[in-house]
Structure 1
């Protein structure tokens, strides 16, 4: 608490805006912007690794929070809390820090450049500081988020590498088990979103790797068109589906299930058709 108070002693309008912007690197919108860039335009296998590591990290975070059930510092005397809409549920471990750690660790493992390791580490640290500055987590929450995030990325990468090398796709169904069980336990919109994306990614991988065999290579102008078109369609599709379906938990699940299929199956099929590349 004293550390939060110390950091907040430097509060000013600029830092308020800055750290609210920084904390978005631990949110799903930033993840989709990065993951789709890798999957559609850079390296498909890396896109899969990044996606599965991130989504399962989110699910693991929910399970840990519900088991440990430590309340947030929100409302404690002398603590000012901002951006409370991103601070639902329990405190330990920090979901934002765990997600940011998952995302940047995955990219660091792919890039394997000293400069990017430094940049990625700084980004994770800034997200950690943002959660303290915003008054929604304690330091121990954030440290745990980093440790768990790194370990889980390494575990998922090992599983994905084994799957790519052996061709045993059915191993991905192991990820679906906690998603399905959790839908009976955690009756929340956020969990149903995560479950919808995860299950769509599993099914999408089965479809894409069997029938589409998407190749993300292309000329720079093609990559730009693919990315901009794909992201804008994702935003439009999300808006339409939320209006049509998200009046119930199953509607939320279906919304994010369809969005996941757009990323993994529909958009790659369309890009392959418009810009054919030999595999």
Structure 2
């Protein structure tokens, strides 16, 4: 603990307004609103399969991270003598492992494995390291939290990516239900409201993915090309994608607020609420694209 405290004190000693701004940008880049905007844009507008894969990896990492946090219940360095933490409003829950670090690692490892280009790899490594270091700079995590966030993020992203590729290719949906069941067994180890919520996220994705894959089957511009084409001259593509994103994000937000209003704060209802919310984002929003004729061949 003395070594970890010394590391936090080192970062505290080099703080400056410029570094504050830099590391705040790094840490904000993996907070929920930003992640939701980026992943939904990818899934609804740019490349459906890539978006599904990233979502599956992210939700898997969030579930693993929450389960470990709720099991170990490690305290944060916030309030430790000699430590002045920053942006503590977003440092909720337990400390080990770092959720920001693990989410950033999962997201960027997924992108690196998808695109396999040097510039994506360079940006990804920079973001992964930057987000992790930002949690130390802000003194909201211990070094061991960040280090394990990197390790877990890499392992889970690779594992869930391979599972998704296999399921998507062979339509072995039972594997997804098995994963949900295995994570549900975690309830015997952690009696946690937060864990129940993230279990709802995973359940909603699995149900939404299966329904979309079998019954909705919406398309994105580059689904059959294996890449995302940002240089298309077809203005209609841009217009349709703007409509898609606005319809999706507005109705998803309305769904969140509506469910929060009508459902009480209870373990069962929390699970149901988050299951419905993610199911709607994965299957319901694409169904709206069909309804509003926003799924035509480009």
When normalised by structure 2's length, the TM-score is 0.85
| Aligned match of 2:114 | 110
2:237 equivalent to 1:219: yes
How far does residue 204 in structure 1 lie from its aligned partner after superposition?
0.9
User: Gapped runs of 5+ residues in structure 2?
Assistant: 222-235
- Aligned residue number for residue 41 of structure 2: 37
Give the SS at the match of 2:29: helix
Matched, 1:277 2:296: yes
Output one character per residue of 1:25-72: Cα deviation in whole Å (capped at 9) or x when no partner: 333322221221111112212111111111111111123234444432
Partner of 1:264: 282
2:92 match: secondary structure? coil
- The CA deviation at 1:246 is 4.5
CA-based RMSD of the aligned residues comes to: 2.2
Instruction: Give the counterpart of 1:11 among 6, 15, 18.
Output: 15
Distance of 1:127 and 1:184 partners within structure 2 = 32
Partner-residue secondary structure (3-state), 2:219: coil
Change (3 A) 1:185 1:28: farther
Give structure 1 stretches of 5+ with no counterpart: none
Q: Is 2:250 the counterpart of 1:232?
A: yes
Aligned to 2:59: 55
Cα contact 2:61–2:156 (8 A) shared by 1: yes
SS, match of residue 80 in structure 2: coil
Structure 2 equivalent of residue 205 of structure 1: 209
CA 1:110–1:32: 2 relative to 1, 3 Å: same
Q: Does 2:128 correspond to 1:124?
A: yes
Displacement of 1:184 = 5.4
Normalising by structure 1, we get a TM-score of 0.91
Q: CA deviation at 1:178?
A: 3.6
CA offset at residue 258 of structure 1?
A: 1.8
- Shift in Å at residue 7 of structure 1? 1.1
Find the aligned partners of 2:209 and 2:259 in 1 and give their Cα distance: 22
The answer to whether the aligner puts 1:194 opposite 2:212 as a matched pair is no
Q: In structure 2, how many angstroms separate the alpha carbons of the residues matched to 1:180 and 1:131?
A: 30
The 8 Å contact of residues 101 and 149 in structure 2, kept in 1 or not, is answered as yes
